[in-house]
Amino acid sequence: MTVEIGQQATFRRTITQRDFDRFATLSGDDNPIHVDTAFATGTHFGGTVAHGMFLYSNIGRALGQLLPNSPQLEQTMLFPNPTYAGDEIEVCVSVTAVTNTTVTLTTTTTRSDGQPGCQGEARLLLAGASANLPKTAVPAATTAVTMSGYRLGQSANLMRTFTSADITEYIDLVGDENELYRENGRLPGALLGGLFSCLLGTELPGRGTNWLKQSLRFPRPAYVGEAITASVTITRLRPEKHLVNLRTICTNPAREIVCEGEALVLAKEMAETVSHHS
């Protein structure tokens, strides 16, 4: 496969509340900012907003269109603006660097008003190539503080085994026909990231959490039928800004890491909810 700098894949789609509801069921993340109109209307969003991992799933679709059968190694994401139900988004991935084994791309979802909903960078392994990701250092916990009952080192975890039916639903929802998932049983990065979404949005910090930033690395593949354990652990708290940093990890039954990264979330809506009910 010949890949050149400047190559792009792009598409448009109108996202709906039904899409949010389906992704909530698929990922387990029923954070009310995504699925509860009454709750979301009372937040600074003013309405339900897309899951960050749903936006990422659409980026994955574009990556698969441009580079079919090319496994993803890394992804960074910023969520600078909320994306609302009923909006038409444009998804674009563009090649910025190419080596003998990997391709680096910018990745963006853009709202109909021209503002980015998700922007970042992806690195993919060319089909048939091999590469080893270097180990990452675990971020050290900062000075011990607490925030609305949260503490450094606090963690939450879940176990999930994805089925062929889950992959079928994912393909139908996203439109991602990449053979890596459709034929080979490999789990899309957005489903692994969706486990973090579930934990962040329903457990730690919990319902009302606003995802601001996420990095993901995929040291090895994960597959349908494997029991995947996901965990999130608080590494930094900034009470004055209601910000929480967390280490995010998914492991397979052999306890090998299949996805890892770091999350930054805003827990302001949670803090306000706690104060209103205390």
pLDDT digits (tens, 9 = 90+) for 102-127: 999 999 999 999 999 999 999 999 98
Cα 213–170–266 angle (5° rounding)? 20
| Structural domains of the chain sorted by starting position, each given as residue range(s) with its CATH number in brackets | 8-277 (3.10.129.10)
Asked if pLDDT for residue 60 goes beyond 50, the answer is yes
The amino acid sitting at 22 is: R
The predicted pLDDT at position 184 comes to 82
Asked if pLDDT for residue 133 goes beyond 70, the answer is no
Phi, psi of 51 (to 5 degrees): -60, 140
The mean predicted confidence, pLDDT, of the chain is: 91
Q: Are 241 and 191 in contact (CB under 8 A)?
A: no
Asked if pLDDT for residue 167 goes beyond 70, the answer is yes
| pLDDT 10s digits, 183-196 | 888 999 999 999 99
The model's confidence at residue 144, banded by pLDDT at 50, 70 and 90, is: low
CA distance 16 to 110: 15
CA distance 225 to 166: 11
| pLDDT 10s digits, 245-278 | 999 999 999 999 999 999 999 986 544 443 332 2
The predicted pLDDT at position 272 comes to 45
Q: What's the whole-number mean pLDDT along residues 80-106?
A: 97
Q: What's the whole-number mean pLDDT along residues 3-29?
A: 96
| pLDDT 10s digits, 197-254 | 999 989 999 988 889 999 999 999 999 999 999 999 999 999 999 999 999 999 999 9
The predicted pLDDT at position 271 comes to 42
Phi-psi region of 69 (alpha: psi -120 to 50; beta: other; left: phi over 0): left
Q: What is the pTM of this model?
A: 0.90
The distance of Cα 110 from the centroid of its chain, to the nearest Å, equals 16
Asked if pLDDT for residue 135 goes beyond 70, the answer is no
The predicted pLDDT at position 139 comes to 55
The predicted pLDDT at position 141 comes to 52
Strand partners, 159: 229
158 versus 177: the higher-pLDDT residue is 158
The predicted pLDDT at position 278 comes to 24
Asked if pLDDT for residue 28 goes beyond 50, the answer is yes
The predicted pLDDT at position 140 comes to 56
Q: Are 63 and 30 in contact (CB under 8 A)?
A: no
Helix (H, G, I), strand (E, B) or coil at 270: helix
